[in-house]
Structure 1
Amino acid sequence: MTTTARAGSVFLADNRRNLWSVDVHPDTNVEDIERPGFWAHEASKLRQFDRIEIRWEDGQKWADAIVLANGAGFARVAIINLIDAAVPADGEQQQADADFTFQLVDVKWKGPTSKWCIIRKSDGHLVKDGIGDKIIAMTEAAQYEKTVRG
């Protein structure tokens, strides 16, 4: 027996669910997102089958989630897709750590406005901020150290 969609049962998705977007702190993990209480402050806006686009402020992860259920002060959310740009190929992280060890500066995430920053260790002076990508910040920090050392 062949099954087909019932006449009149196909709808535009935009009329059936909402698409939300949220930026989360870089320390947020998937387990936090899937904890119903995580969404307590936004639960009243959400409906079952709504989608949530989750972006980590530092640009290292992105996730697509669906609302499975919601009620007063909670929403049960499941991650459908997770992209983790910070997960390196085998052996790549050890090489990256070895390539980016600095004596004069630190590279730190300072939030969605300042983004990745290069900070001088000796006095805490901000050398550069607003760098959108961690690898670019590390590369610029390496260039800074090379320039300072001569």
Structure 2
Amino acid sequence: MATAAQKTPVETSEKDQSNEMISGMVKAISDAKRVLQPRRLDLRENVVNDWVVKVDSGVTAGDIETPKFWQHYTNVLRRGDELRIDCVDGSWTARGRVLAVGPREVMVKVLDVHELEVVSPDVLQVPSGYTIEWAGDIEMWRVRMDREVLKSGFESKGRAAAWSHTHAMSQQK
């Protein structure tokens, strides 16, 4: 066999062709990774469940990201599911995604949170002696003074706070 210095032009050409063929195969493999492969495209309904979750007043986005929060839903939720999370008092909404499901916990990532109630800070300063609280789906937001419920049925905390200001002013006369 000829040494590198003694190679004929034919032998050199064959080696170059072999190298080109190998580099072409490597390029084809790397190009194939950049192309969407078969069975990677599917209808959303076949892959992801969309859930609407209603959480109690006082629950925070941090609570939602606590794995134990979802412990009763490990057999329902699956990785990749999307969640629309609404607070029952109407104060905020959020979007989340299920990252992992274990035997007794679910990992959820909150993607975004939107506060729905736009109220000026001075309205939320409840007059002394008044309490504004969420009372459930029927009574909704209510205003209490001491132990007595003055009025209920407010759709937002801001409206209840505004009413408490009006009531306090009428009591001063």
Alignment-mate amino acid for residue 130 of structure 2: V
Deviation at 1:104, TM superposition (A): 5.4
Distance 2:68 2:118 in 1: 27
Task: Report if aligned partners of 2:50, 2:84 keep a CA contact under 8 Å in 1.
Answer: yes
Alignment-mate amino acid for residue 84 of structure 1: E
Task: Report if aligned partners of 1:104, 1:145 keep a CA contact under 8 Å in 2.
Answer: no
Task: Report if aligned partners of 1:63, 1:82 keep a CA contact under 8 Å in 2.
Answer: yes
Q: Does 1:12 align with 2:37?
A: no
Counterpart of 1:135 (choices 149, 153, 158) is 158
Deviation at 1:141, TM superposition (A): 1.5
Distance 1:86 1:77 in 2: 25
Q: Deviations over 1:38-78 (max 9, x none)?
A: 11101110111001111122222211111111021111111
Counterpart of 1:61 (choices 92, 100, 104) is 92
Mapping for residues 73-92 of structure 1, pairs under 5 Å? 73-85=104-116
Identity of aligned residues (%): 23
Q: Does 1:29 align with 2:60?
A: yes
TM-score, structure 2 length as denominator? 0.69
Distance 1:46 1:133 in 2: 31
Gaps of 5+ in 1: none
How many residue pairs match? The answer is 142
Distance 1:106 1:29 in 2: 21
Gaps of 5+ in 2: 1-30
Distance 1:43 1:8 in 2: 27
Alignment-mate amino acid for residue 41 of structure 1: H
Larger Rg, first or second structure (1 or 2): 2
Counterpart of 1:40 (choices 49, 71, 80) is 71
Q: Deviations over 1:110-131 (max 9, x none)?
A: 233322101133xx22221121
More strand by share: 1
Mapping for residues 46-125 of structure 1, pairs under 5 Å? 46-85=77-116, 93=121, 95-97=122-124, 100-103=125-128, 105-121=130-146, 124-125=147-148
TM-score, structure 1 length as denominator? 0.78
Higher RCO (CA < 8 A, seq sep 6+): 1
Deviation at 1:8, TM superposition (A): 5.8
Q: Deviations over 1:78-121 (max 9, x none)?
A: 11111134688xxx63x445xx3414532222233322101133
